[in-house]
Structure 1
Amino acid sequence: MSPAPKQAMTDDSIKVRQVSHYQFSWVAGDTGKPGTWTLQLVLDQGATEEVLTLDGQDAENLQGLLSAAATVFYDVPRRTLMFGTTAAGQR
């Protein structure tokens, strides 16, 4: 038998999740002001979601990275996207 975990596993204890889906949105700014881009991340098939506020350049760069990567992970407490995985020693 495996030993009992020291603490219960909860949704909040999972720090890194896989991005299942994503959606960009743009909200118009006040007259004469730039709009705001947001990126909604659906993590682990809807277990949780995250919404990031972006500028236009970041939105464009992330769109390219998200569409090119086969696997994307999101580190929830660090608010960090990680694109793809590579085994040690591989290029």
Structure 2
Amino acid sequence: MKARQRRKFVSEQNTEQTIKVRQVTDVQASWTEDQRGEPGSFTIQLILDDGAEEYVLQPTASDTKVMLKLFRSTDKVYFDLGNKVLIPSNVF
């Protein structure tokens, strides 16, 4: 790789690493049985910017219900990786 191409590649990598807010482009919700007969736990996997990054949330059951409604009721949702905040684009 030539020096110019290498600098461009490093620059692109640095840009990707500095992005803190990404669009949620897919969501995968799961429930896991922790122990037989005991309450389980939910996870919501956020696919960000078509796979550029992923993040897994571990919400309570009631928060999971609210989050899934939020994802269904808005056109776009963003996730702030630095502050761990879901940001809906248009709730109403």
Map of 1:53 onto structure 2: 58
Q: Which moved more, 1:8-17 or 1:53-62?
A: 8-17
Quote how far apart the aligned CAs of 1:31 are. Answer: 3.1
2:21: which partner in 1?
16
Alignment check: 8 A CA contact 2:74 2:90 kept: no
Q: 1:41 aligns with which of 38, 46, 60?
A: 46
Letter in 1 for 2:21: V
Q: Secondary structure at the match of 1:34?
A: coil
Alignment of 1:24-35 (within 5 A): 24-35=29-40
Say if 2:49 is the partner of 1:64: no
| Distance in 2 separating the partners of 1:56 and 1:85 | 24
Shift in Å, 1:32: 3.9
Report deviation, 1:85.
4.7
TM-score of the aligned structures, taking structure 1 as reference length:
0.80
Q: Percent identity?
A: 35
Cα deviation, 1:15-69, whole Å, max 9, x if unaligned, reads 1000000010000021343101000000001100000111110110001011001
Equivalent residues, number: 80
Assess if the C-alpha contact under 8 Å between 2:24 and 2:49 holds in 1: yes
